[in-house]
A and B are shown apart, each in its own frame.
Chain A
């Protein structure tokens, strides 16, 4: 599998370490209401779609950036790649 890195171009998947669902970027507010429940869901619950899946990959043998890769889990087609920090920034700006 090849991952089109937003800064470095096509890179072999072997250079990356996989983490999982990009929902991990959406960490709940520790002081929010129902924080216990929110953190439980954040840590333990994942969607497992057959199709487009946003997931976190770490370019460990590269520039050490975290990427949000949108991958079709049925075909491994890569639909979109973004720097995770950009995604996280947008989330904060929207929040």
Chain B
């Protein structure tokens, strides 16, 4: 055991059992998986991505590149979680990743022996030939070998949520700067959110042995938090990582609500993705320590010095009994002192500076470097080289590497800001172009002392709140250490025996960067793509600056000249499930039900999704075993007697005002201004580029009152277009629009007995005889003894037909009443399938034909586009390409024999080669016509209007299928329109 008997922020009264790779261990409440494993002497935690090198934990935070583990099992199995952030709970199950058969012996470790050929860019060079091998051999092979964790193969069983929070000041990070800021703002009465990714607030204070004022830092931390908890205007959010900075002071944050529990609480979401709207935001995200590259610097046991210190102070864990430190700055010496204070044996402090300070009684090697390490599955010793060139081997089980600290400034760059180089502290700090209304304080701003953190946190808060007109009284600042930064930039030890690792997650070495340089990939963005440096889950938080420095050295440029890659959200990975929240499965979007839905359901209808709607597809009857039987029956019933169909999903827009007629005349390609009151007209709507946008009917109920319909699918976008035309093109007209799709239930009543059926429910005062209410008539009427209704004599099926609309609340009753009064006509409810059959038989176009590529000419409706008036799309519809003779025309196709035609087939002259050069058109809609007793289709065919009677091949060249069909008029039934006028 590497755990001290006392100290640390763990609750020894609450031991927790957990397993790692099947072995059982014990940790305590307050542990992370990483601290508990280290306490149990487990240093080996994973295998590297490419070479399968043994790797251990290197950090104590979210920047961890190595210790990625798989948690839980079954549907809750979760790959690539950082052991440094995983809170221990009783029964936690964790497994290492990317190894076979076991972590200690990994067969793919052979990749490591092949490293000389697997260097940077080897994919691009190796898998080039033969070209055919890529899909069949290389890609499957690479896919099997690549990747770290395994996804759960079952759907995620947990609930996730999204939410929005508002505040005056968002403080990101609860270290000394963030705590001081939140306290200042909280006391001033501002609405504050303090968010921290850790499960305890305090940031670096938790990991250090410091004093603040007369007390230990811990007491100041505890007192501050207690005061903050008592303030109702302050919201404390632990386990909440702010992952992105967006426009207008908006921040994205992921809260891990129940990840620290064995299973999510039944009443709580597992995670919440917060959208935080802040008036001001203060970035107090602290800093991330960076490593130094040297030979074999990736062995388990080689860690960041600050992390080693954190494990010792916060979790009372010594990574090993004997430790060493490799540093280029004073901070490394603090690690040595803290570890000695915790009883560890510090075997060497290796400082690259000849004038290294000495803080205590430890073996100090000034002007020396660590050049190699030994130990197959864990560090056993280091080799150091003194200034005089002599070397010495120092045994140790842990090495703390202190290369200096980088401000965690990602959030300051998410809006395109670029960091600037500060040579005196040898790192990048946030630049001047911060996201709107954002401020930075503490280590994130390059102010590394505790005093500096607290004072800049307070000062930034005062400035931020001043901008909001909130007056503050800065709290008395406690005295705290204010050590200057003494650092000599040092990035790697140069040529050595072993490889020097820069990016531990992607297995990129100093040599790989040199290779990239040699091959011309010198810009940082090229370097990243060529070597994969800085990619994957950690996004190079430890690696980027080191690699940049190596590249700068090779090009002879300075680091700031070499530049940085772009920082993009998220700061740490965000599960897609959290981004989706509750919008998944059935809840992905609303399901809209028609006003007649309940009735249809009671009839046993089969439903189909039509956009957001559920529509009755067909109504199977007893004895019908195939959908075609139901559909054929329904379609024939309409042609022989009468059928009813719920068409409420059609978009409906009320158009009113003295300018309504003139407005509609501009909106539709065909004329509407002289449409008489009490009449409907088919309306064709174009886009301004001359392509057909939509079609529907326009009914004039009164001089200044129209109601127009749109297709179901286009209801929203046509309404938007209508408002555009009204507001942006004709604001002078007196016209108002109101979408009323949901207000009216609308039912098609079609078939030779349609009128007789309707006469039984229409109040007798309304005469709907053929003379009084002819084809294309419309009227506001009353039915069933006073219920308001609108009746339109329009036909989609080609039969004598009406559409009747009643207020939506009567949708179910209308269907039922029509059924009840028409038993002697055997009224047949029909669904969207039969509706489709009937309209194909009649040759009516729908979304399949109005697919955004077809003009009025293609549809055979060129004459409808009036040349005598202005209309949207009129001018460009007359362009030669859209209106020329020749070109595609809508046609009908009748299968020859019993062949079945399919929509999406292509049309070829009989016997022609099935190549694009001979392709003369395609089918858009197809069905079996029970009326004609054969398969029919609609389609577009070159010069189709003058080729009726030709026999063509309707082919699917991909599947090698081809059947023969005859080109006919698209109006298979009653082309003269006698039925619908009857």
* Dominant secondary structure at the B interface: helix
- Asked if A43 and B728 sit within 8 Å, CB to CB, the answer is no
Chain B positions 715-732 with a Cβ under 8 Å from a chain A Cβ: 716, 720, 723-724, 727-729, 731-732
The answer to whether A17 touches B876 (Cβ under 8 A) is no
Nearest B residue to A1, CB-CB = B247
Tell me the smallest distance from the CB of A21 to a CB of chain B, in Å: 12
User: A1-B248, A17-B720, A58-B724 in contact; A30/B875 too (CB < 8 A)?
Assistant: yes
Given A30-B870, A39-B688, is A24 in contact with B875 using a C-beta cutoff of 8 Å? no
Within 8 A of B (CB), among A32-69: 35-36, 39-40, 42-44, 56, 58, 60, 64-66
Does A81 touch B at the CB level, under 8 Å?
A: no
**A79 part of interface (Cβ distance < 8 Å):** no
> Does the CB pair B731–A89 fall under 8 Å?
yes
1/0 per position for B866-892, CB-CB distance to A under 8 A? 000010001110010000000000000
A39–B247 contact, CB under 8 A? no
Contact B728 A24 (CB under 8 A): yes
Say yes or no: B720 contacts A76, CB within 8 Å: no
Contact indicator A85/B727 (Cβ below 8 Å)? yes
Measured as residues with beta carbon below 8 angstroms from the partner, the interface class of chain A is 35 or more
Alpha-carbon distance A1/B688, docked complex (angstroms): 30
Please give, as numbers and ranges, the residues of chain B lying within 8 Å of A74 by CB-CB distance: 416
Q: How far is the CA of A36 from the CA of B728 in the complex (A)?
A: 21
Partner of B729, one of A43, A76, A88: A88
**Which of chain A's residues have a CB closer than 8 A to the CB of B879?**
36
Name the residue of chain B whose CB is nearest to the CB of A30.
Answer: B870
Checking B720, B727, B875 against A36 with a beta-carbon cut-off of 8 angstroms, the contacting residue is B875
A92 touches B728 (CB 8 A): no
Q: Which of A19, A28, A76, A85 touches B247 (beta carbons < 8 Å)? A: A76
Q: Which A residues touch B415, using CB under 8 A? A: 75
When the two chains form their complex, are residues B876 and A66 in contact, meaning their CB atoms are under 8 A apart?
no
CB neighbours of B248 from chain A (8 A): 1-2, 76
User: Bound complex: CA of A86 vs CA of B731, how far in Å?
Assistant: 8
Determine whether B662 belongs to the interface, using a CB cutoff of 8 Å to chain A.
no
Contacts A42-B688, A60-B720: A25 and B875 contacting too (C-beta < 8 A)? Answer: no
Mask of B687-709 contacts with A, CB within 8 angstroms, 1/0 = 01100000000000000000000
User: For A24, what are the chain B residues with a Cβ–Cβ distance below 8 Å?
Assistant: 724, 728
Most buried by B among A43, A77, A86: A43
Chain A residue nearest to B729 (CB atoms) is A27
Measured CB to CB, the closest approach of chain B to A10, in angstroms, equals: 9
- CB < 8 Å neighbour of A64 from B247, B436, B723, B876: B723
Which residue in chain B gives the minimum CB-CB distance to A10? B248
Q: How many residues of B contact A (CB 8 A)?
A: 22
Contacting residues, chain A, for B875 (C-beta < 8 A): 28, 30, 35-36, 39
Chain B residues with CB under 8 Å of A35's CB are: 875
Question: In the complex where A30-B874, A35-B875, A60-B720 touch, is A66 in contact with B728 (Cβ < 8 A)?
Answer: yes
* Contacting residues, chain B, for A36 (C-beta < 8 A): 875-876, 879
User: Is there contact, CB below 8 Å, between A19 and B724?
Assistant: yes
Chain B residues whose C-beta falls within 8 Å of the C-beta of A1 in the assembled complex: 247-248, 250
**For residue B730, which residue of chain A has the nearest CB?**
A88
Closest partner residue, chain A, to B688 (CB atom): A43
CA distance A33 to B607 in the complex (A): 54
Residues of chain B with a CB closer than 8 A to A17's CB: 720
A85 and B876 contact, CB distance less than 8 A: no
Is there contact, CB below 8 Å, between A25 and B729? yes
Among A31, A56, A85, A86, chain B packs the most CB atoms within 10 A around the CB of A85
- The answer, among A31, A64, A77, A88, for a CB contact under 8 Å with B728, is A88
Complex Cα–Cα for A10 and B723 (A): 22
Q: Which residues B729-754 have CB closer than 8 A to chain A?
A: 729, 731-732
CB distance from B155 to the nearest CB of A (A): 27
Minimal beta-carbon separation of B367 from chain A (angstroms):
49
Interface string of B141-164 (1 = CB under 8 A from A): 000000000000000000000000
Docked CA distance A28–B872 (Å) = 11
**How far in angstroms is the closest Cβ of chain B from A80?**
16
Q: Nearest Cβ in chain B — how far from A15, in angstroms?
A: 13
Q: Say whether B688 contacts A85, CB under 8 Å.
A: no
Q: A39-B875, A42-B688, A89-B731 are in contact. Are A66 and B724 (CB under 8 A)?
A: yes
Residues of A within 8 A of B870 (CB): 30-31
When C-beta atoms are compared, the residue in chain B nearest to A24 turns out to be: B728
Q: How far is the CB of A93 from chain B (nearest CB, A)?
A: 9
Min CB–CB distance B165 → chain A (angstroms): 14
Would you call B688 and A66 a contact (CB within 8 A)?
Answer: no
Report the minimum CB–CB distance from A73 to chain B (whole Å). 12
Contact present for B727 and A66 (CB under 8 Å) = yes
Interface residues of B in 18-76 (CB under 8 A from A): none
Which residues on the B side are within 8 Å of A86 (C-beta)? Answer: 731
Report yes or no: B728 in contact with A39, Cβ–Cβ below 8 A.
no
Partner of A25, one of B247, B250, B728, B876: B728
Q: B residues within 8 A CB of A27?
A: 688, 729
List residues of chain A with CB within 8 A of the CB of B716: 60
B723: A residues at CB distance < 8 A: 58, 64-66
Q: Do B720 and A58 touch (CB < 8 A)?
A: yes
Contact in complex: A84, B728 (CB < 8 Å): yes
Residue of B nearest to A42 (CB): B688
Instruction: Given the known inter-chain contacts A1-B248, A30-B870, please indicate yes or no for A40 contacting B876, CB distance below 8 A.
Output: yes
A43 lies within 8 A of B731 (CB): no
Task: Enumerate chain A residues within 8 angstroms of B247, measured Cβ to Cβ.
Answer: 1-2, 76
B532 CB to nearest chain A CB (Å): 31
| A65 to B, closest residue via Cβ | B727
Q: Could you list 30 examples of A-B contacts with CB < 8 Å?
A: A1-B247, A1-B248, A2-B248, A24-B728, A25-B728, A28-B875, A30-B874, A35-B875, A39-B875, A39-B876, A43-B688, A43-B689, A43-B876, A58-B723, A58-B724, A64-B723, A66-B723, A66-B724, A66-B727, A75-B415, A75-B436, A76-B247, A84-B727, A84-B728, A85-B731, A87-B728, A88-B729, A89-B731, A89-B732, A92-B731
Q: Which residues of B contact A (CB under 8 A)?
A: 247-248, 250, 415-416, 436, 688-689, 716, 720, 723-724, 727-729, 731-732, 870, 874-876, 879
Nearest 5 A-B pairs (CB), nearest first? A85-B731, A30-B870, A85-B727, A88-B731, A76-B247
